[in-house]
Amino acid sequence: MGLGGRGRRGVRGEEDQEALLGDREGRRSIADDDDGREVPLLRRISSRLSLRSASPTPTPSIHPSFTPSTKTRTVALSGTSESGNGGEYPPNIISNHRFTAFTFLPLTLYHEFSFFFNLYFLLVAVSQIVPALRIGFLSTYIVPLVFVLAITLGKEAHDDIARRRRDREANGEPYEVLALGSEATRSLGRIRGFGKKKVGIAEGNQARTDGRENLRATIKKSRDLKVGDILVLKKDQRVPADVVILKSISNEIGTADDETEEGDTSGEAFIRTDQLDGETDWKLRMAPSLTQGLPAERFESLKIIASAPSREVNSFVGTLEYPGSGLSEGSDTASLSPYQKSTSTALSIDNTAWANTVLASNSTTLAAIIYTGPETRAALSTSKSRSKTGLLENEINNLTKILCILTFTLSIVLVALENFGNHPDKPGVKNSQDPGDVVSGAWYIKILRFLILFSTIIPISLRVNLDMGKSAYARFIEKDKDIEGTVVRTSTIPEELGRVEYLLSDKTGTLTQNDMELKKVHVGTVSYTGEAMEEVAEFVKQSFSQTATEATLVTPLTSNITHTSNTRTRREIGTRVRDVVLALALCHNVTPTTATEEGKIEATTTYQASSPDEIAIVSWTESVGLRLIHRDRKGMKLMSVDTGEVVVRVKILEVFPFTSEGKRMGIIVQFLGGNTGKEQDLLHDNTDEDGSPSNEDSGDIWFYQKGADTVMTSIVANNDWLDEECGNMAREGLRTLVIGRKRLSGQRYQEFASRYKSSSLLLQNRDKEMENVVREYLEHDLELLGVTGVEDKLQKDVKPSLELLRNAGIKIWMLTGDKVETARCVAVSAKLVARGQYIHTIAKLKRKDLAYDALEFLRNKTDCCLLIDGESLAMFLDNYRDEFIGLAVQLPAVVACRCTPTQKADIARLIREHTKKRICCIGDGGNDVSMIQAADVGVGIVGKEGRQASLAADFSVEQFCHLTKLLVWHGRNSYKRSAKLAQFVMHRGLVISVCQTMFSIASKFEPIALYQGWLLVGYATLYTMFPVFSLVLDQDVDEHLANLYPELYKELTEGRSLSYRTFFVWVLVSIYQGGVIQGLSQILVGLDHFKRMVTVSFTVLVLNELIMVALEITTWHLWMILAEIGTAIAFVASIPFLGDYFELEYVLTRAFLWRVIFISAISLIPPWVVKAVRRRLKPPSYAKVQGI
């Protein structure tokens, strides 16, 4: 098996790689379009008007009618366009567009009109075509609907055109394809950088080459690639399809005296997978040894047997078969060269590179295509995330249903008051053909006309205003310098941040930094920590520092002759320390890399690995004197820091990478003895001329393994100190790893290797069979060497952040995969558990009756913190699901350890379903994605485990402490602002509808329009829109008070800002004000002077709305003042152009002025007085804290 877990860590978001089609994603703000330019405000708004959420980064899509193959495939490699595989498999075409020229309008319009608001106003607009239903101008009802639809359709068209453009660019990207057979004889381009090794000359800047393979290639576009084609990939090139790596040649310049040619024969290639799985570390991939040493012109005889296409990006099962070049008659099989022998080798994930990964190493790589287009891992694993709808949106939807019922009821009541009479000759209804003539209609016609007149009760502008507000909140969050780097990926739910009652958090990388440091080592009889590490360094120095006369390589059996003057006990301890340090320096998947930073002359060595734990351990071995200086897939070299000499060389025989299921990793190495001055080729079998193993290749074979104590306890030999020491380290908050080893005889290893290889060639149950072989031959009775404790430091300001969130009424759960004691320690140190709070631990429950007893205890102890492991959690969820969740949600804090990703997601769903409360989940790793997607609000941290959680989340932050401001400040503001905005928009529609009702009653229940044409359009847009929308800038308290009194946040969870109570209060206010405005206008002016009456009532209506907004504002902002004054000026300036509706001469009289002032006073003063008295008698919480 290979080293699939190895890779580089620390690639940060600002170095994001190109996404699938060349655009940049991830940390990019939602304010940027697909080309990275700033998006106009209109387009940002339009993205909220459509129910369909557009993905910022296109990914390969699967056509609904396409079904991936379910059969194992045999791929013949030919390297030609006539490979014979192309017809059986789908083309390598990326297709992300949603529409064609013919389907665009039908599909988008159908989608938009499936929404109730749009359909309602479409029916209202269409009704104006019927003469009997026509009221006023057609534009009055058409323009608002067309405005909303035009923005939405324009956004959809723009996005789809951009998707098509990117599809075209990706599908047309050129790639070199190896030409073999008849194709190789044609006049094709030679492959640059392949088949040549550049060797630097010590003197001068010349370079020489040694040609080995004269290969030719043809250029193909990505869409023309087929299964079986052999790609020639270079550094930083995107992989266009799923491939198996056949050969990799390094392009690095070596020194002239480098005789080993390791760079050419190792077959190593690093890839970046951040666009596939979000992980920022580099992954090591390797060519099979069979094809790495095989001349490329022989590739046409290869066959790859691959499993059916799958969405599993971390697994692959396949076999590579080479038939050989044939045997001449009478030839001896033993004397054949490797190229003549028929052979096969197993293929695993370590030999693959999936589509959309990027070749990171400076090498030329030959790779065979096995899956194309919709059968690639990237296409199959692409799935639409759950569409999240905010609680506020559901509440507003319920209120609009009430408004709809109110509209129907009011229309029927007004017609019923006339006894549903049909009076064709009765005056009242204006004739659209001749405005001077009036006719009446049937009762059902009147009901329909009233429905049209009262359509303003259900304001189409409500959705527009709320979606514009959401975009504004998203911009406020992303522009906040205190939480710099925060990205809003789902801008439909910012109000949900203000309603969170449960916070589910990961531990490693979320509450902790995922910045590891080895703090403690226990070797059986003694522990080393802190300053005692100097003694470890002294032991290492004595064990690995050698004189010139002792220039031999160190092995585990090398005696510590330097300790002869010491006591026997000290010699034994020194030997144990040496063995532990040596084991830690060898048992890992770390690769040292040397690079020269820009502007510097000296090269620096860094370590690449998929886990920070690994790097922490290897860095520690270097700090105590044993440095890893070289590693490839065949061997390792260790150097003494004290002498600078290579002291350990090993040949890697097998590697067993770490898996989340196995929780351990192992390695089989063969120690090479001999003189340190003699360079040995670690990459080839060392054989003498007669074919027998050389002395250097006959060293001891050892199996090293390290892993979690839960699995290693049953693997190592019996001992009396392991459990106790692991518990001690866990109580200190350290992550423990147990190290063991076993010596293997040559015969035993050969038996294992034979069985293991046979198992690796299976296509069915391969992994299980391989595990069984490892368990039978290796994983038992290991010699226990020691235990290490690695510290993971807490994130910045975690303690005050958790305390503030707890004071805000948020119940916090910590879900982690760590052991019970480590989880307990972190929970206490992070102040997740309050001082003096009792922690009730439930672990290793296996009986149903014991689980029931634990539930009974919790019923009487609801003020404790529950600490439960994954095994016990599974027992509760299987047998007492509802009872357990019902009790757990009452506890102030819960810590669940040893949790699987599935259990994390299940817990989030259970809490949401049981409590109907808002759940926020936060994490930083790929194992947190399912939990984040199951939450109402998912927050991802850009961490050292990658960007997968960040990309899958609704909100992406840089640090855990940023969550505090996101919830307590931005979440609170977003919810309160949207609640106030929604109520004002509904109030605006209700007031004008009440005015219409009063006029209809006065006109003998006839459906005559009071305000027509521009008055209706202007009232909802120019005359009231900006002041009402400016409420998104309002804030009842400043940020300091919001943090000082987090209890203010707790009130929001009760939903008092927008409830049925507040809604009906606003309905009563609207009825009062509408009745006063229209009633007094009709009394003081009279119906006989229709235009004069409209002039007074509409002017008061606009002023009433402007003053009501001003009265509701808590904290004035410059833009609020400009919106109020600007709108008032715009209304006054537009009056001369309203001659069709107003009596302009009357506007200039005193009678108009005093009537407007009088009616406005009667409309505004009583509601203001009631509000002031109520605030005096029962002030809101924010007013109380402002007065302190």
The CA radius of gyration of the chain, in Å to the nearest whole number, is 37
Using DSSP, state whether 420 is helix, strand or coil: coil
Measuring CA to CA, how many Å separate 810 from each of 132, 500, 967?
A: 58, 7, 10
Nearest 5 degrees, angle CA 994-CA 995-CA 1001? 85
Measuring CA to CA, how many Å separate 1013 from each of 143, 447, 995, 1134, 1140?
A: 10, 21, 16, 14, 9
Who's near 903: CB < 8 A, 6+ residues apart? 815, 870, 873, 874, 877, 896
Measuring CA to CA, how many Å separate 644 from each of 641, 673, 765?
A: 5, 18, 47
Known catalytic residue at 781:
no
Strand partners, 688: none
- Are 639 and 631 within 8 A, CB to CB? no
CA 131 to chain centre: 55
Nearest 5 degrees, angle CA 139-CA 144-CA 147? 110
Using DSSP, state whether 791 is helix, strand or coil: strand
For 728, left (φ over 0), alpha (ψ -120 to 50), or beta? alpha
Which H, E and C letters describe 969-1015, residue by residue? HHHHHHHHHHHHHHHHHHHHHHHHHHHHHHHHHHCCCCCCCCCCCHH
Residue 728 CB neighbour total at 10 angstroms: 17
C-alpha–C-alpha distance, residues 1099 and 1028, integer Å: 17
C-alpha–C-alpha distance, residues 953 and 930, integer Å: 10
Backbone angles phi, psi at 85, to 5 degrees: -95, -20
Torsion of CA 635, 641, 644, 649, to 10 degrees: -20
Tokens of 811: 């119940």
Beta strands 512-522 and 527-529 are antiparallel
Nearest 5 degrees, angle CA 536-CA 538-CA 542? 120
Using DSSP, state whether 125 is helix, strand or coil: helix
DSSP letters, 229-263, are -EEEE-TTPBP-SEEEEEEEEE---B-TT--S-HH
Tokens of 730: 């866990």
Residue 508 CB neighbour total at 10 angstroms: 26
Residue 272 CB neighbour total at 10 angstroms: 24
Helices (H), 720-861: 722-731, 746-760, 766-777, 798-807, 820-829, 848-859
Residue 1169 CB neighbour total at 10 angstroms: 10
Q: How many CA atoms lie within 13 A of 1068 on its CB side?
A: 9
Say which of 23, 277, 467, 506 is annotated catalytic.
506
Nearest to residue 368, comparing CAs of 521, 180, 191?
Answer: 180
Helix-, strand-, coil-residue percentages of the chain, each rounded to 5: 45, 20, 35
What single-letter amino acid sits at 1?
Answer: M
Instruction: Identify the DSSP state of 959.
Output: S
Using DSSP, state whether 1109 is helix, strand or coil: helix
Tokens of 723: 């459990």
Nearest to residue 489, comparing CAs of 35, 1019, 942?
Answer: 942
Known catalytic residues?
506
